[in-house]
Amino acid sequence: MALPPRTFEKTVSVHKRDDSYNLVLAGEGEKKDPIVLRTLGEFVFRVPTLAQQRDIGIRRARQMNGVDSYASLDLRTYLLVEALAVVPYQVEKAPDGWDWDTRYDFDEMFEIFDAYTQGMKEIREGNGFQGTLPPAA
């Protein structure tokens, strides 16, 4: 049985998105390339071990302290709970000078989290891996 990679690398850029954060908006005319507002750089993400999956769940539960369900959260808060439970702990390498404690930009955090979830999806769907991997988030 093939094992999943231990890490994966993604170039992360902040894209212009719709209000629901689902759609990356494309440019006008012949080229329909995504609109990139700025590039954050290369990130190396860890594929979570079982212990790390447990820790993600614990961090998520702590952040939800007193909140009965995700249904009671607005979209932005829901995305922050998910991203902050995962991203700072699963990034093995970030661009030089990156400091999680000084980040204030929601769009940056969302794009990093999106890159992580896309990478996990690619690993689950490819590479001949036959085992089970955690959900993307």
pLDDT tens, position by position, 83-103 = 989 998 899 999 998 888 888
CA-to-CA separations, 105 to 14, 16, 36, 116, in angstroms, rounded: 10, 14, 15, 17
Mean pLDDT of 67-94: 87
Locus of tokens 């699963």: 90
Can you give the pTM of this predicted structure? 0.79
Q: If we measure between CA atoms, which residue out of 87, 11, 18 comes closest to residue 48?
A: 87
User: Rounded CA gap, 46 and 53, in Å?
Assistant: 11
| pLDDT recorded at residue 128 | 46
Say whether pLDDT at 132 is over 70.
Answer: no
At 104, the pLDDT band (50, 70, 90 cuts) reads confident
At 130, the pLDDT band (50, 70, 90 cuts) reads very low
Percent of all residues in the chain with a pLDDT value above 70, rounded to a whole number: 80
Say whether pLDDT at 115 is over 90.
Answer: yes
Q: Can you point out the beta strands (E) in 56-133?
A: 91-93
Say whether pLDDT at 129 is over 60.
Answer: no
Query: Residue 42 corresponds to which tokens in the numbers above?
Result: 């290369």
User: Rounded CA gap, 59 and 83, in Å?
Assistant: 11
At 25, the pLDDT band (50, 70, 90 cuts) reads low
